Structure 1
């Protein structure tokens, strides 16, 4: 079977195909009709031999094709994944018979990621101030958050504040920072009384994050990193090919999946009737990151604005608001789906 770069989303596999291809043509494995570099699928066996070892058979698990696409986004489409993966599994003589075999991650990976679910319940309902930090470190969580990125000094960041009193004058630069300790309420990342600075990487995202509605007046502040300052964040949005971590793939899988599950909780919007107890696990993990890894903050996806990213800084002393502009919301789009159940007659 021949494959091409259009069969995959994974950048490492794309690069490998381009570098090692000796022929061009139309690929039979995917629906793309463009003439491109072709490679025998057997050339990819070394990549997948280690990769499939992080899974094991589980009759109550998830089809392999689904877990690979949802967690790793390796193939360009499901049909391509079905064809190529089934062929590779036969060549590898794997106990995972085909792409639809139900699987779970191997125990060591499952143990690390399931600990997050147990920790959430423990923090909300059992104990809050004497949590087993040693258990987290034994699982390697400190190293999972140890890979950090430095924010570009030229990158603008934004924060929005709603006007509730009809005032048509923008807030001052000083008032766009995090609130005073005594006025600081609980947030997704911070507990009450410990203010963090919530920023977004673009203006639209910060408007969504404030949940501004039609004709709301909003002050939007632009922030920059101060001269001679460096901000290091744990990046929950980072996507890397698993094939960059050959030889250490199980550890990378633990880190990636843990960050994914925590990121979902960080991004999950709290509804009006939800309890602030839902904040506690992510508040805890931010404190763990702050004091165990020494990072200045976190970067994560916005759930309110697709493609948007949010940054939480544990301290605001390394950034400054350089300008504030007044905006008015002139358009709001709402999309809904029917979640009611039809009664059976």
Structure 2
């Protein structure tokens, strides 16, 4: 039987399929004239997935205190907890039985019964292997806001370091990014006025505390307009910034979708450790991108400021994160603005905006 690149989302698995250099029709999703992997004549995927599935235990072998909400069929766990597959649980079940057929014949209960990962409720394991030890993301947020802002003991820094190193990203000189500022008139701002504000005027942001300069850029002009919430009839100065030297940033937009197979082989993060940290990694990615509403407190930036400052302490040049204000937009927070130079500016006159909304409540 043949599976194909369209069956998967995981970059490492897709690379394995493409490496066979075979073209055909997928027996699982039906895609034609695509890169396929003949399961019966190749063993790489079988070896990868058999080792990966060893992290799961059937319910009968799990601790009695294992939470019910984490128990599920194997195919449901793989669909819910990982970004390995592009298909639904039923299709995942068929794929796994085909790829790991020997394991299925030896342990059918692993594929057909509810399973879980025992280490989820092992405090001793979590204390040494989880980014937030035995704490939830919300408890970390509460602690850093109200108890121990600068020296929280909730974080395993070595574990956090290992995961952020999974998403290092290099930008080379001449890369171009953009920055926008709402301006008072059609003259706009000069190139020298488009950088980060001076230290005495720096407000708290998602990647910096008050008074600490960070240059916030975006990958497109459109994204910058959304990020500053430009309104109708606003004048907006757009600055084009050119990178002067090679920099290495941490791409938090992908912190929760790194292939577990790459993390395991290159960075020695085993599958269980990856699994118990997934919830926190997802929260981290969402939190750094989350926009503050007009009346929200800047205290809400503290968790991401902590993470950003930690990344800065490791010697990286900035962080990249998803823009929730613009579809497919990416933002870059650069710790030293001198690595960029504003090459030109232009002024836009905003003529129209669009609103999309959900009704969240009604009153008579």
Q: TM-score band (shorter)?
A: 0.7 to 0.9
Deviates more, 1:231-240 or 1:60-69: 60-69
- After TM superposition, the structure 1 = structure 2 runs for residues 1-345 of structure 1, keeping only pairs within 5 Å, are 2-20=2-20, 26-34=25-33, 37-40=36-39, 43=43, 44-56=45-57, 59-61=68-70, 63=72, 64-65=74-75, 67-69=77-79, 71-78=81-88, 79-85=90-96, 88=100, 90-91=104-105, 93=107, 96-98=110-112, 101=114, 103=116, 106-107=119-120, 108=125, 111-112=130-131, 115=135, 117=137, 118-132=139-153, 136-137=156-157, 139-147=158-166, 148-163=168-183, 165=184, 167-226=185-244, 229-238=245-254, 239-247=257-265, 248=268, 249-250=270-271, 258-291=280-313, 293-340=314-361
Measure how far apart 1:13 and its partner are. 2.6
Deviates more, 1:89-98 or 1:299-308: 89-98
Mapped to 2, the partners of 1:201 and 1:105 lie a distance apart of: 42
Number of aligned pairs?
Answer: 334
Mapped to 2, the partners of 1:65 and 1:146 lie a distance apart of: 29
The RMSD of aligned alpha carbons is: 3.2
Deviates more, 1:142-151 or 1:122-131: 142-151
Superimposed CA distance per residue, residues 160-204 of structure 1 (whole angstroms, 9 cap, x where no aligned partner): 0012x3x11120111111111221111111111112111111111
Call closer, same or farther: CA 1:136–1:36 in 2, change over 3 Å: closer
Contact preservation (8 Å) 1:236, 1:260: no
Call closer, same or farther: CA 1:317–1:70 in 2, change over 3 Å: farther
Q: SS of 1:195's equivalent?
A: coil
Mapped to 2, the partners of 1:255 and 1:300 lie a distance apart of: 19
Greater helix content:
2
Call closer, same or farther: CA 1:36–1:236 in 2, change over 3 Å: closer
Structure 2 unaligned runs (5+)? 60-66
Call closer, same or farther: CA 1:323–1:233 in 2, change over 3 Å: same
Contact preservation (8 Å) 1:11, 1:241: yes
Mapped to 2, the partners of 1:246 and 1:95 lie a distance apart of: 26
Measure how far apart 1:35 and its partner are. 7.0
Mapped to 2, the partners of 1:126 and 1:66 lie a distance apart of: 38
Structure 1 unaligned runs (5+)? none
Mapped to 1, the partners of 2:55 and 2:348 lie a distance apart of: 50
Measure how far apart 1:304 and its partner are. 1.1
Call closer, same or farther: CA 1:145–1:94 in 2, change over 3 Å: farther
Measure how far apart 1:158 and its partner are. 0.7
Superimposed CA distance per residue, residues 69-120 of structure 1 (whole angstroms, 9 cap, x where no aligned partner): 455322222142242235547246276434x836458334783356461322
Contact preservation (8 Å) 1:203, 1:220: yes
Contact preservation (8 Å) 1:55, 1:106: no
Measure how far apart 1:261 and its partner are. 2.6
Call closer, same or farther: CA 1:50–1:280 in 2, change over 3 Å: same
Call closer, same or farther: CA 1:320–1:37 in 2, change over 3 Å: closer
